[in-house]
Amino acid sequence: MQFELTATDAGTSARTGRLALRSGTVETPVFMPVGSRAAVRGLTPDQLREAGARMILANTYHLGLRPGAEVVAECGGLHSFMGWNGPILTDSGGYQVFSLAAHRVMTEDGVHFRSPVDGAEIFLGPREAMRIQNLLGADVVMVFDHCAPYPCSHDHARDALERTFRWSALCKEVHDRDDQALFGIVQGSTYDDLRERSARGTTEIDFDGYAIGGVSVGEEEESRHRAVRVTMPFLPAYRPRYLMGVGFPIDVLRAIAEGVDMFDCVAPTRMGRNATAFTPQGRLRLRNSAMSRDGRPVADGCGCACCRLYSRAYLHHLFRVGEMLGPILLSIHNLSFYADLMAGARQAVSTGTFARFRDDFIARYRGGKDGE
């Protein structure tokens, strides 16, 4: 992996960069669509690329469960298996330590999960997470971490970050593919002192990049933003910075202003499957009866396949009758919206106008007739 800063914004900490990986080069800031099970739901790789996606995310826990990392490796690795020739990042399964808390038992060595497929027990620890990710063959892999819930006590958050230190060091020790970049993860919940402690300790281990984890787990918007703002000064400027699981437009722009380079979130495709489109004027709900005779595209000026060819009225019809084309088209639009947002952010940084770009977007997004 090589990471080169290409521009900085004088009024904020926003920056642009070029992230060169084994499977290609991406311009940052970059948004990664989520394909946990080796597929971004409903979309082909060609549709993803046409919508502007350049790097995607898959999940260690889900792919280790089905079809199994060995199967993916036998099929030529994750890129060949899913027909995607661009960069891929695999999460380690650490998020499932949080999201599947009711179905797991944690030990110092790792986590015992109860399979939702057949009830069998699955064990995932630092060694197992790295073995699976090495077999999957993604361009960027993540350490196995302990993502604490929100809210949690200071003691609980401290224990989680200390465990993450130990697991991170072991991940680096056993990671054995030189063609994969390994990122560390900062924890600390909403506690400023723990965020600093985690950032300092994680950078001491020395990873190829650094992620801010433990956010988007139920905390308020300002708490989430504060966790980013407190953490960023302790992450090296010459390494890529990744904010995990955060992806609503305003959150993304505020994080870019703090110097974040990479994002992922299920929001664009999940909202698309649920008849909601992102537009510069806010969210647009296509199931609303007002859409039934609206001949306009989802967003004026959008060049995506959905907006070029179809009306709001047609999309309303598709969702009303349960046609699968509706979720597909809105997912394409939403991913195109995010790709355009990232391109606009990069352009604003390059001209030193990011603060104005951010503020204008937020005002329009919150104040538009479709906004929330």
Residue 340 falls in the annotated catalytic set: no
Residues forming a β-bridge with 5: 17
At residue 353, the 3 state secondary structure works out as coil
Q: Which is catalytic among the residues 9, 145, 251, 264? A: 264
- Residue bearing tokens 């900062």: 186
Decide the pairing of beta strands 276-279 and 56-59: unpaired
Cβ(163)–Cβ(180) under 8 Å? no
User: Does the annotation mark 370 as catalytic?
Assistant: no
Q: What is the layout of strands, in order, in the sheet containing 2-8?
A: 2-8, 15-21, 24-28
User: Which has the closest alpha carbon to 32: 94, 72, 91?
Assistant: 91
- Cβ-contact 250, 358 below 8 angstroms: no
Structural contact between residues 286 and 275, judged by C-beta atoms closer than 8 angstroms: yes
Q: What DSSP string runs through 235-287?
A: S-TTS-EEETT--SHHHHHHHHHHT--EEEESHHHHHHHTTEEEETTEEEETT
Picking from 52, 14, 47, the residue whose alpha carbon sits closest to that of residue 32 is: 52
What's the gap between Cα 331 and its chain centre?
16
Selected catalytic residue, list 9, 91, 251, 261? 91
Residues 90 and 35: beta-carbon distance below 8 Å: no
Helix, strand or coil, per DSSP, at residue 369: coil
Longest CA span, the chain = 60
Degrees, nearest 5: CA angle 51-55-59: 115
Give the separation between CA 53 and CA 57, rounded to whole angstroms: 11
Q: Let me know how many helices (H) and strands (E) the chain has, helices first.
A: 15, 16
Nearest to 280 by CA among 255, 261, 256, 253: 253
Q: Which residues are annotated as catalytic? A: 91, 264
